[in-house]
Structure 1
Amino acid sequence: MAEITRLSGCRDWIDLGFVERERTPEPAMALGIQSHVAGLSLSNTVELLEDLGVQRSRKAVHDWVQKADLQPDSGKSPNQIALDETVIRINDQQFWLYAAADPQSNELLHIRLFATTTTTLTEIFLRELRQKHDVETAVFLVDGAQHLQTALQRAGLRFQMSRHGNRNAVERIFRELKRRTSSFSNCFSHVEPETAENWLLSFARWHNATN
């Protein structure tokens, strides 16, 4: 299984505090969460655990990821923030994934899934970003999307248009995200948007921990 080569590294970023009366050994749970977030399908993750003598269902692994409630750490003070959006498909419907990344550390600062993309939703995203991090003096790097620029202006945040350079940080992360979800055909099927967003937040936590 070629994907296993991507699963090395520390798993301290996975908080198993949600575990109460779980019969699965915690190291196996951590491996299952890491494997699925890193891009293995649920079926392949189950096979990996079976190779270690742990028999669990696809639903069990799915529930571990959801209950772990992983998301990027807060309290960052970036000098620059790459802001962008990309399309994610859920049950053959189009959703927009907003992301803010620190191009110096290559860490995801905040992500959010919306059913569409508007100036108002961008303002909501920026308000949440402000609650998590100190971004008042940061310079936001954006492309030519007018709704991004308008929302930043209304929020009183500095920005500059940039199609290359440091703004590429968030585009690289988007490419990595879509590569990781290639086993899902870049489409979350038979899940609610909230479930998909929880997985995306878990991906962001994994990305930052292994960056």
Structure 2
Amino acid sequence: MAFGIQSHVAGLSLLNTVELLDSLGVQRSRKAVHDWVRKAEPQPESGKSPNQITLDETVIRINDQQFWLYAVTNPQSNDLLHLRLFATTTTTLTEIFLRELRHKHDVETAVFLVDGAQHLQTALQRTGLRFQMCRHGNRNAVERIFRELTRRTSSFSNFFSHVDLETAENWLQSFARWHNVTN
């Protein structure tokens, strides 16, 4: 089961994961593997205390709907610290995201590196977190992760014809866990 979850999260399609398991003598359906990944709910580890954090959001499409993927990374380790999907992007949702991040990690003394998005800056000000506007350098870490996530979520969305937000978010959490382990 763990090998099947790891294989799928690492990038194999459900069909390829099932075929790999079959070659090892384990016969499971695509739905069974999908359910394993969903139930495992692997998430990035908590308890980190980075000096710098990159914060950004990007649009991803799931079933022809647009969602905003918020993510924070540690640019020194390239680890994904937290990510979350929202149906829209607002200052209030950014504050909710930051509250969740604070619950998982010690970020009170960190400097958040953000682009020019005003709602990100406003939310950081309202929550009392320090930030610096930065378009290059350490912010490139989060952009590389977004490119990979966008590449993977486009194939993910096309593979599951009726994926819901919860399933997509579980997959993204699994991806974050896999990304951090392989870094």
Per the shorter chain, which TM-score range?
Answer: over 0.9
Equivalence map 1:22-41=2 (5 Å): 29-41=1-13
Is the contact made by 2:72 and 2:142 (CA closer than 8 Å) also made in structure 1?
A: yes
TM-score by length of 2: 0.95
Residues 150-208 of structure 1 deviation map (CA, whole Å, 9 limit, x = unaligned): 00000111101111000111111111223344543678531110111011001101111
Residues 57-96 of structure 1 deviation map (CA, whole Å, 9 limit, x = unaligned): 0000001001111101111000000000111111110001
Is the contact made by 2:46 and 2:104 (CA closer than 8 Å) also made in structure 1?
A: yes
* Structure 1 counterpart of 2:107: 135
- What is the percent sequence identity of the aligned residues? 87
* Structure 2 counterpart of 1:115: 87
5+ residue gaps, structure 2: none
Is the contact made by 1:76 and 1:133 (CA closer than 8 Å) also made in structure 2?
A: yes
Is the contact made by 1:90 and 1:188 (CA closer than 8 Å) also made in structure 2?
A: no
Is the contact made by 1:188 and 1:196 (CA closer than 8 Å) also made in structure 2?
A: no
Q: Which amino acid aligns with 1:111?
A: L
Matched residues in 2 for 1:183 and 1:48: separation? 19
5+ residue gaps, structure 1: 1-28
TM-score by length of 1: 0.83
* Structure 2 counterpart of 1:179: 151
Is the contact made by 2:60 and 2:153 (CA closer than 8 Å) also made in structure 1?
A: no
Q: 1:128 to 1:119 in 2, by over 3 A?
A: same
Q: Which amino acid aligns with 1:45?
A: T
- Helix, strand or coil at the partner of 1:163: coil
1:86 equivalent in alignment to 2:67:
no
Is the contact made by 2:56 and 2:71 (CA closer than 8 Å) also made in structure 1?
A: yes
Equivalence map 1:56-205=2 (5 Å): 56-181=28-153, 183-184=155-156, 189-205=161-177
Higher mean displacement: 120-129 or 171-180: 171-180
Q: Which amino acid aligns with 1:129?
A: L
Higher mean displacement: 123-132 or 184-193: 184-193
Q: 1:189 to 1:160 in 2, by over 3 A?
A: farther
Residues 8-45 of structure 1 deviation map (CA, whole Å, 9 limit, x = unaligned): xxxxxxxxxxxxxxxxxxxxx11210111111111111
Q: RMSD across aligned C-alpha pairs, in angstroms?
A: 1.4
